[in-house]
Amino acid sequence: MTSTTSARLPTSQLFSLEGKTVIATGGTGGLGSEMCLAMAESGANIVSIYPPGDPGQPRLEETIRSSVVGGSRKVVGFECDISDSQSLRDTFDKIWRTGVVPDILLNCAGLNRRGPIEEMTDEKIDLIFAVNLKAAYVAAQEFGMHLIKLGRPGKIINIASFTSFVAMTNVSAYAATKGGVLQMTKAFSNEWAVHGIQVNCICPGYIKTPLSEALVQQFPEMEQYIINRTPAGRWGEPADLRGAVLFLASPASDYVTGTSIVVDGGMMFR
């Protein structure tokens, strides 16, 4: 069981990730790459679990190495189809066998297949559940079990969604999985707080990414709808998630677990 007291860090170090190692799923995506960069800029090394053949992995590596002063952060990648649970477990085993000592998990991989409920096929449903919910569960499970084995504290940051609370339309399977991620976060936190492992999640609203751009191209009316619905009067940018992820990854959140941070410009309460 972890101690109830800890040494007081100077405030200047409260959000530092110096010397920490982040394992990220979905780190090559529009949201994940920005959060990985933010953590690297705050001192962390990045281990990216990326889809087979994903061109985003070399871009992520180059972005971090060119953005961090002196190129001092380590960035390594492990290719994996995370919709295959056994492949994901095997990938974590490979990571441990290379000697990686983990501190933070960013559970960011996700996808969506929009459409009315009656048009959702088994293929679409199975893929959404496999990537958004089961892979998030398995990644958190493998990560946390290794920390417990090592006797180390750590942080798990799941990425849920505005739709964890407000289901919207034409996203029934996606909303179901993101609601599941929210509850999974609470359940994991209940069992693992005693091991010094904090489990929290970030719930983004509508953020400008290549995926959301494709949505607007398909439904042009969405552009103004989101702006009008959001009290902040704009879409979110991936950079808007930096503060939340640094808080949940750093010592600043050592007594915060089982909670969610909604980053949506106020949309949920309008």
Q: Residue 135's beta-bridge partner residues?
A: none
Residues 6+ apart with CB under 8 A from 208: 30, 235, 236, 237, 238
Whole-angstrom CA distances from 7 to 14, 98, 137, 247 are: 12, 31, 32, 18
With CA atoms as reference, report the closest residue to 160 among 144, 180, 141, 143: 180
Residue 50 known to be catalytic: no
Question: Residue 235: how many CB atoms within 10 A of its CB?
Answer: 19
Whole-angstrom CA distances from 270 to 140, 223, 232 are: 33, 17, 11
Taking phi first (over 0 means left), then psi (-120 to 50 degrees means alpha), and beta for anything else, what does residue 49 get?
beta
Choosing from 137, 174, 225, 255, the catalytic residue is 174
CA 74, CA 89: separation in Å to the nearest integer?
Answer: 23
* Phi, psi (deg, nearest 5) at residue 106: -105, 110
Q: Which helix (H) or strand (E) holds 155?
A: strand 154-159
Whole-angstrom CA distances from 111 to 5, 75, 161 are: 40, 24, 12
- Residues designated as active site: 174
